[in-house]
């Protein structure tokens, strides 16, 4: 990825290179935003809403989103459901195995802040931002599929604004 990341810098040296670099940014971010493949990561009830979003009524596919059961080809992880302290290292491992650039959506109260298990619970992680960086938070218990779609649109907007140089 080093070369791609430095491409705009190389191009700047040529006359008109700036335009090429900007167009390249545009093409890449558009295509990236329109073909998000997400990693299946559902641990509790929110995952049911996630499944509903993927099914025919809400039809995730129209965003070009299909799920992958492997972190290697996924660029988004939707953490849907309660993340316990025992589960947290697995989430981190999957995140680390994903190719960059990668994004995280925290779906549901549990994932965002511990949800109904915030009080009196020793086992539930109080927010997955302790474990992985989160791009979009979706509140609700559980959030409706519409909320998840809205969250995905928000993420798409975010991706479209990105430049190649921002890739980390």
Partner 1 sequence: MDKAALTKYILDKFAGKVELLETGKVEPVFKLENEFLLEFCKSINSDETLHIDFLCNIAGVDTGERFEVVYSVASVKNKIRFDFKVVMAYENAEVESVQSIWPGANWHEREVWELYGINIRNHGNLTRFLLPDNWDQGYPMRKNWDAPDFVRMPES
Interaction site with ligand SF4 (CB under 6 A): 44-46, 81-82, 108-110, 115-116, 141-142
Out of 118, 157, 161, 166, point to the residue binding partner 1 (CB under 8 A).
118
Helices (H), 12-136: 17-33, 46-54, 88-97, 109-113
**Nearest distance, CB of residue 127 and ligand SF4, angstroms:** 12
Strands (E), the chain: 37-39, 66-68, 76-80, 103-107, 136-138
- Contacted by 141, from ligand SF4, partner 1, none: CB < 5 to 8 Å by type: ligand SF4
92 binds partner 1 (CB under 8 A): no
**HSE-CB for 162 with a 13 A CA cutoff:** 22
- Contacted by 153, from ligand SF4, partner 1, none: CB < 5 to 8 Å by type: none
């Amino acid at each position: 990825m080093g070369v791609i990341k430095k491409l705009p810098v190389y191009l700047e040296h040529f006359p008109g290179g700036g335009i090429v670099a900007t167009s390249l940014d545009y093409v890449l971010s558009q295509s990236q935003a329109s073909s998000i493949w997400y990693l299946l990561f559902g641990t509790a009830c929110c995952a049911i809403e996630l499944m509903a979003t993927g099914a025919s009524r809400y039809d995730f596919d129209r965003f070009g989103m299909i799920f992958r059961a492997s972190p290697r080809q996924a660029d988004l992880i939707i953490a849907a459901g309660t993340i316990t302290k025992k589960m947290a290292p697995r989430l981190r491992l999957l995140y680390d195995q994903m190719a960059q650039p990668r994004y995280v959506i925290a779906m549901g109260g549990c994932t965002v802040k511990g949800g109904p298990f915030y009080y009196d619970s020793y086992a539930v992680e109080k927010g997955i931002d302790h474990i992985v960086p989160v791009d979009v938070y979706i509140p609700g218990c559980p959030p409706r599929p519409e909320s998840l779609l809205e969250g995905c649109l928000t993420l798409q907007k975010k991706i479209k604004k990105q430049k190649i140089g921002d890739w980390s």
